[in-house]
Every structure is written in C-alpha cells, then in structure tokens.
C-alpha cells in the first residue's frame, strides 16, 4: 500500500474504504454497484496488503456519513480539476482554474 493517499487512484481508495467499513457495511454498498465495479473492487481488496490508520481516517470520514445515513455510495471517475476548497491556497487554485490558468501558483 502506498505511503501517501494522494498517490492512490479511486479504486484503491474505494477498496480501503470498504475494508475499513467491514464486511457487513461493505456488502450493503456492493449491492448498489455494477458487476464490473464489484469485480474491480474485489481484485483491489485482494491486492491490498495493509491500510494505515492515516489512510483509513482520510478516506472514510465523508463516506461514513453517507453510509450511516443509509445513503448510496458510488464510485465514479473524477476530473483532474475537481477540487475541494479548504485552505486559502485552494481558493487561489480555484481562481486560477476559473481564469483558465493551469499553471497554478
């Protein structure tokens, strides 16, 4: 497993989330997925050696909220420029993207 969650792709992050949630909750998510998504995740889970506490914490916070509320969680391909604005730097990145400047800061 990678030492940095920023190096993980979406399937790897989803596999970590499912491992962290445990078999019962993971099964509840699997029933909402397509067959090819289940196959991808199953292979990734089998290839996942270990998950660090930091990876678990980072990847499960938001998804846990949805699962606890009984909402569906989906795996989707993301966009490179899909960002979350949390810090002042993130706002500068967003402004640069809106101006069409991909060479940020």
Percent share of the chain, pLDDT over 90: 0
Residues in the chain: 105
Q: Of 12-21, 48-57, 89-98, which range is least confident?
A: 48-57
Domains and CATH numbers, the chain: 5-74 (1.10.220), 79-105 (no CATH)
What pTM did the predictor assign?
0.46
Quickly list DSSP for 32-92.
Answer: TS-HHHHHHHHHHHHH-----HHHHHHHHHHHHHHHHTT------PPPTT-----SHHHHH
């Amino acid at each position: 497993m990678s030492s940095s969650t920023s190096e993980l792709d979406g399937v790897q992050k989803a596999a970590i989330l499912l491992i962290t949630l445990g078999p019962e909750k993971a099964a509840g998510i699997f029933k909402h997925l397509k067959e090819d998504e289940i196959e991808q995740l199953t292979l990734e889970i089998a290839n996942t050696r270990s998950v660090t506490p930091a990876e678990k914490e980072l990847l499960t916070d938001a998804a846990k909220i949805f699962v606890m509320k009984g909402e569906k969680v989906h795996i989707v391909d993301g966009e490179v420029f899909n960002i979350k604005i949390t810090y002042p730097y993130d706002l500068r990145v967003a402004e640069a993207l809106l101006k069409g400047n991909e060479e940020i800061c």
